[in-house]
Amino acid sequence: MRACATQTVDATQVTQRRGSRFMNIDDVMFTLRHDETTISRIIDFLSWKEVRRNLKQASNNTADDTEVVADEEEGARFEIQPCADGFPPQEN
């Protein structure tokens, strides 16, 4: 817990040196730039967070007869396609 507090203080100092009022992820990543494992975890976490957010937005914008298909080559971009098998099943 102490390491987290120290990193937050360091990131706050970086924010102040930049002349900004608000800390952002770039400040945190700058303070951790020598720890490749942690940077990798943060990037992975943020990319999955974006994927979940995009899926949630896409599912809110789609009709019941469509599915969300992730295009892995494009990263976190999604394409909405109609379901081929009629899933989810319609209740009678």
> Which pLDDT tens digit goes with each residue over 53-66?
888 888 887 644 55
Ramachandran area for residue 35 (φ above 0: left; ψ -120 to 50: alpha; else beta): beta
pLDDT digit string, tens, across residues 7-45: 888 999 999 999 988 998 888 889 989 989 989 998 999
Residue numbers of the domain that contains 26: 1-34
Determine the Cα angle at 49 with ends 67 and 74, to 5°.
Answer: 60
Are 51 and 12 in the same domain?
A: no
Residue 89 in this model has a pLDDT that exceeds 80? no
Tell me what pLDDT residue 85 has. 52
Position 91 in a domain: no
Position 19 in a domain: yes
Are 60 and 76 in the same domain?
A: yes
Are 40 and 80 in the same domain?
A: yes
Tell me the pTM.
0.52
Are 42 and 79 in the same domain?
A: yes
Q: How much is the CA Rg of the chain, to the nearest whole Å?
A: 20
Rounded distance, CA 56 to CA 52, Å?
Answer: 6
Rounded distance, CA 65 to CA 84, Å?
Answer: 9
Which neighbouring-strand residues pair with 81?
67
Are 40 and 75 in the same domain?
A: yes
Looking at the 3D structure of the chain, how many domains does it have?
2
